[in-house]
Every structure is written in structure tokens, then in C-alpha cells.
Amino acid sequence: MNIAYFLLPKNRVAYLYDDYTFRQGLEKMRHHGYTAIPVISRDGKYVGTVSEGDFLWRLVADEGEGQRPCSMKDLEQLQVRDILRETQYLPVRITVSMEELLTSAMNQNFIPVVDDSGSFIGIVTRKDIIRYFSEGKQVPEKTFLQKIV
């Protein structure tokens, strides 16, 4: 099954640019009501995904972590790229299998999709993946499900 069928294209997805200020990023997330949102560079490359928790943990970071708490003025200088954690929301290519998507969906709300050059092209939501398997269009092999459980 080609995952392009499930792809929510970039032009229909809210995302942040990595050079947005902390405040701009937080305001856009609040406006859309998301708990996590993709982050891309100005040239369209997928950089990562930032979550509400990333914003919160940066606000309450203490000096022991090498960071100091922020004032509102500091938030205008801090950029979204400064709070990204690299290990979250790893992207997949459009050629990924549904089973691999299912594995990724177990740990994240959506899966970012990139092209061969690493440019962000959209997302596949966990809801669409669950719907696909629940409608019985393709049932993963029992051994595959045992591996991921």
C-alpha cells in the first residue's frame, strides 16, 4: 500500500519554521490547538517536531542544565530550533510500508514524511493508520504484531 493515500500534504499542515521565536512558535501552536507540530527550515527541510512539553521544559529549565530561566524579553531572542530534541518524531519516506508506519505511530501522534532530499512533504496521522488497520484492509502478520508489542 502506498502511503501517499494517507498523506496530509504540507499545504494542509500547520508547521513552524526553525527560526521562529519561542513566542511565535508557542502562539501558532496555541492557535491551532496542537500538542506537537513539525518544524522545518526556510528551504523546506524537515528539522524536527516541537511539543508543548519542549516549550514548558525550556521555560522552567534551571541553571544546572546549563540554561537559565527565561524572562519575556529572553523569549524574543530564543528560537524554536533552540528547544528541539532530535530524537522525537523521526521522519519516514513516502515508500515506507504500512507496518513500519504502525510501529512509528505507537510512539507519536503523527509521522512526518519527507522526500528523498529530506524536504518535508506532509504527515500521516495515527488516526488514519489505526483506521486503515481497523477496517481490515490489511491485517499485519501475527508475528509482526508480536514483535512490536
Return mean pLDDT, the chain.
Answer: 84
The predicted pLDDT at position 67 comes to 56
State mean pLDDT over 6-30: 94
Which CATH number do you get for residue 84? 3.10.580.10
87 Cα distance to chain centroid: 11
For residue range 100-126, what is the model confidence (pLDDT) as tens digits?
888 888 888 899 999 999 999 999 999
The predicted pLDDT at position 87 comes to 65
* pLDDT over 90 percentage in the chain: 48
Angle CA(29)–CA(35)–CA(38) in degrees, nearest 5?
65
Of 23-27, 33-37, 69-73, 129-133, the least confident = 69-73
Select the more confidently predicted residue: 53 or 76.
53
Domain holding 30, by residue range, is 3-148
Count of domains forming the chain? 1
